């Protein structure tokens, strides 16, 4: 019995059974192939633009096309930065997009909070009017909006590029939906019992709970303002107020279609947008999926 006990105590533990890999289902394989194809479709123009930005102008449209430039050159970037005020365009676009984003995040969250948690006369009508504006294409209102801004004497680019877009209907609707799903009335009632004013409740209680949605709205607002071309094309006439899209569009001017400079400018212009997306990608994903307050 002793020998048996010793052998039992010193016996090696049984080995874990090996997991057999699960077979890939045809449906999941088709999903992976579809996603891979979509990624390739969306990345192909960016890869081609990055490669072509290092090519000579005559090699950009060579056939058959070559992915790797032969020879690679930095002349496109040097000519763009030395012959055109590209950094001024970048500063203008980034500044307009940054100020616009701050205003959009503040005003849309405030309006969304009001629509979600307050009752007032005409609330339903005002919300329906605001929401229905999403169905109106911007091209329909661009001329009336320009006339309105010009008649009011507010056509200065630094004003006109920002103020008309500080309270988009999409942002208000997004904030209203998130407030309704994520902020219970009990938290607001407790803050009122403690003597907080309505604005203090919004600033100290509501805003911290809206952080994921605010991040998603900030990414959307920054990219929309940064990439906007039609409205700056209508409202801006002075070259010193050109944004990046306007400046790149100007490269198709009297000197011919400078595709080499356009591609170099497009690659540089994409850097701030990609950086904002990378920094706020977690907030973007979590904000687009409505969450709940954890107890």
- Asked if 59 and 118 sit in the same domain, the reply is no
Q: Is 13 a member of any domain?
A: no
φ/ψ of residue 20, rounded to 5? -85, 130
- Asked if 88 and 53 sit in the same domain, the reply is no
pLDDT at 18: 60
- Asked if 254 and 211 sit in the same domain, the reply is yes
Where is the domain boundary, 18, 46, 73?
73
Examine the pLDDT at 12 and tell me if it is beyond 70. Answer: no
CA distance 216 to 255: 41
Is the entire prediction scored with pTM above 0.85? no
- DSSP label at residue 257: -
- Give the structural domain span for 91: 84-288
Q: Is 9 a member of any domain?
A: no
Work out the burial of residue 127: count CB atoms within 10 Å of its CB; fewer than 13 is exposed, 13-18 middle, 19 or more buried: middle
φ/ψ of residue 196, rounded to 5? -75, 140
Query: Mean pLDDT throughout 23-34?
Result: 77
For the chain, the domain total comes to 2
255 vs 216 pLDDT, higher one: 216
Query: Mean pLDDT throughout 249-277?
Result: 83
Q: Is 38 a member of any domain?
A: yes
pLDDT bracket for residue 3 (50, 70, 90): very low
pLDDT at 92: 94
- Asked if 61 and 114 sit in the same domain, the reply is no
**What mean pLDDT is reported for the chain?**
84
Out of 11-15, 144-148, 211-215, 241-245, pick the least confident: 11-15
Where is the domain boundary, 50, 73, 96?
73
- Asked if 247 and 110 sit in the same domain, the reply is yes
pLDDT bracket for residue 256 (50, 70, 90): low
Element (H, E) at 37: helix 26-52
- Asked if 58 and 172 sit in the same domain, the reply is no
């Amino acid at each position: 019995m002793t020998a048996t006990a010793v052998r039992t105590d010193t016996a090696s533990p049984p080995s874990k059974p090996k997991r057999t890999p699960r077979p890939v289902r045809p449906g999941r394989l088709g999903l992976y192939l579809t996603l891979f194809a979509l990624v390739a479709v969306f990345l192909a123009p960016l890869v081609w633009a990055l490669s072509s930005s290092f090519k000579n102008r005559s090699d950009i449209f060579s056939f058959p096309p070559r992915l790797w430039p032969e020879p690679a050159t930095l002349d496109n970037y040097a000519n763009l930065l030395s012959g055109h005020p590209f950094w001024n365009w970048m500063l203008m676009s980034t500044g307009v997009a940054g100020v616009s984003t701050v205003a959009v995040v503040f005003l849309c969250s405030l309006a969304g909070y009001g629509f979600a948690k307050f009752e007032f006369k005409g609330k339903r009508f005002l919300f329906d009017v605001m929401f229905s504006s999403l169905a109106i294409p911007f091209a329909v209102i661009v001329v009336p909006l320009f006339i309105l801004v010009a008649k009011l004497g507010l056509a200065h680019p630094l004003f006109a590029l920002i103020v008309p877009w500080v309270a988009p209907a999409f942002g208000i609707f997004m904030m209203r939906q998130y407030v309704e799903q994520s902020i219970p009335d009990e938290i607001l009632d407790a803050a009122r019992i403690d003597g907080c004013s309505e604005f203090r409740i919004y600033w100290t209680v509501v805003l911290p709970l809206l952080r994921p949605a605010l991040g998603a709205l900030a990414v959307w607002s920054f990219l929309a303002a940064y990439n906007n071309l039609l409205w700056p094309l209508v409202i801006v006439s002075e070259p010193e107020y050109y944004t990046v899209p306007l400046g790149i569009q100007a490269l198709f001017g009297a000197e011919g279609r400078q595709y080499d400079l356009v591609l170099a400018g497009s690659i540089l212009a994409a850097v701030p947008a990609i950086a904002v997306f990378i920094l706020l990608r977690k907030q973007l994903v979590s904000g687009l999926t409505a969450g709940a307050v954890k107890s």
